């Protein structure tokens, strides 16, 4: 059976050109980057060239880019540093964040007594910016605001400039989980009022197990992981050499082809939305489909029935990969905390379809035909 992969917000396939760039560092260029002999210097040069490449793509300074194991480590580092190093006594987040953020802020609240507030979510799934201002005004102490740039389940985009300027007004630290947008969205970090962003290579056809943390050059924090002087004393542990090379190459390619790929992928997304509306009775969409949303994600609300309760299982046995929410919890039948936050309709079943440049219109047609059979 030929599989149709519509879960690209969970992970993407590795681009052949990325693998090609990585292979030398998995074979002959295997030196430890901390070693002073030629093998080590060669590896160190590869890492520093990758850092420059990533910084260029994000319009940041190379000294602001730190390589990590992925988005979860990056967000944990930023959130903990804001509390322990930057004097934040209160955290403002949202109920629709990825668990890498939610579990971290809840831990700090329960174990360290840090204040915690959640900004309201509008019926569209967007953050209520007026309520965010109210929370900042009422806090009475320095805040960390941690809000994701694009939601991984519904695709809604945050206006990071508006939030950043609001944080600047109240001397708050601003961290944004940008895992879904690095590699999919043009960043200009030199002109963005933000302290921390995150990225993960496997979201844009790079390797798994490697990510970045951007730390604004005006921010000074202590390392989250202790034990060595790697990453300019900021992240101990021998570097994931070939992963870092792959991350940089994948981001370089994603940046170079952003316009054509984003237009193509958004075309697939909107085509599928139109086909579903035409062929599936009472289907609706979660999130701001026609407004400010990421072009890769389509979250579909099917009317609940005996058939649709088994929809993900039935899609899977027909070779179609989709998600019931965040892939990090797709094996658990607990429903989506994101959908519950703004659409607590017990008569709907949410399915996330997410697309890449490798998907086709024919695949969309096949999935819609199969859904017509399964409804």
> For residue 238, what are the CA distances in angstroms to 63, 177, 195, 241?
18, 25, 26, 8
Strand segments (E) across the chain: 4-5, 65-68, 90-93, 115-118, 143-146, 173-176, 196-200, 211-215, 284-286, 297-303, 320-321, 348-354
* Cα dihedral sign, 302-307-309-311: negative
User: Are residues 293 and 287 in contact, defined by beta-carbon separation less than 8 angstroms?
Assistant: yes
286 token code pair? 């979660």
Instruction: Kindly write down the DSSP assignment for every residue of 174-214, as one continuous string.
Output: EEE--TTTTTTS---GGGS--SEEEEEGGGGTS-SS-EEEE
Instruction: Please calculate the CA angle 292-296-181 and round it to the nearest 5 degrees.
Output: 70
Given the residues 88, 143, 321, 328, the one annotated as active site: 328
**Among this protein's residues, is 328 annotated catalytic?**
yes
Residues designated as active site: 328
């Amino acid at each position: 059976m030929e599989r149709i992969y519509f879960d690209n917000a969970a992970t993407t396939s590795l681009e052949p050109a990325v693998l090609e760039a990585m292979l030398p560092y998995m074979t002959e260029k295997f030196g430890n980057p901390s070693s002073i002999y030629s093998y080590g210097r060669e590896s160190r040069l590869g890492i520093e060239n990758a850092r420059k490449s990533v910084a260029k793509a994000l319009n940041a300074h190379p000294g602001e880019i730190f390589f990590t194991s992925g988005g979860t480590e990056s967000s944990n580092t930023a959130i903990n540093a804001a509390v322990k190093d930057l004097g934040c006594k209160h955290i403002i987040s949202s109920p629709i964040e990825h668990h890498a953020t939610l579990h971290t802020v809840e831990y700090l609240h329960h174990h360290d007594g840090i204040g915690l507030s959640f900004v309201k979510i509008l019926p569209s799934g967007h953050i209520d910016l007026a309520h965010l201002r109210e929370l900042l005004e009422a806090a009475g102490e320095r805040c960390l605001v941690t809000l994701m740039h694009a939601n991984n389940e519904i695709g809604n985009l945050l206006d990071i400039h508006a939030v950043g300027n609001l944080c600047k007004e109240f001397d708050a630290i601003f961290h944004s989980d940008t895992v879904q947008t690095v590699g999919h969205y043009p960043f200009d970090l030199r002109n963005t009022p933000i302290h921390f962003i995150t990225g993960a290579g496997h979201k844009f056809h790079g390797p798994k197990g490697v990510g970045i943390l951007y730390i604004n050059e005006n921010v000074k924090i202590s390392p989250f992981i202790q034990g060595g002087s790697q990453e300019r004393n900021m992240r101990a542990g021998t570097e994931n050499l070939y992963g870092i090379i792959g991350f940089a190459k994948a981001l370089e390619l994603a940046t170079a082809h952003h316009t054509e790929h984003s237009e193509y992928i958004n075309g697939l997304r909107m085509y599928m939305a139109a086909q579903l509306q035409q062929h599936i009775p009472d289907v609706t969409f979660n999130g701001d489909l026609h407004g400010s949303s990421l072009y890769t994600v389509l979250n579909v609300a099917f009317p609940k029935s005996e058939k649709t309760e088994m929809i993900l299982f039935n899609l899977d046995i027909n070779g179609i990969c989709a998600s019931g929410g965040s892939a990090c919890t797709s094996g658990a039948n607990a429903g989506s905390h994101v959908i519950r936050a703004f659409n607590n309709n017990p008569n709907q079943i949410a399915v996330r379809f997410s697309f890449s440049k490798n998907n086709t219109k024919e695949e969309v047609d096949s999935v819609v035909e199969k859904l017509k059979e399964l409804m």
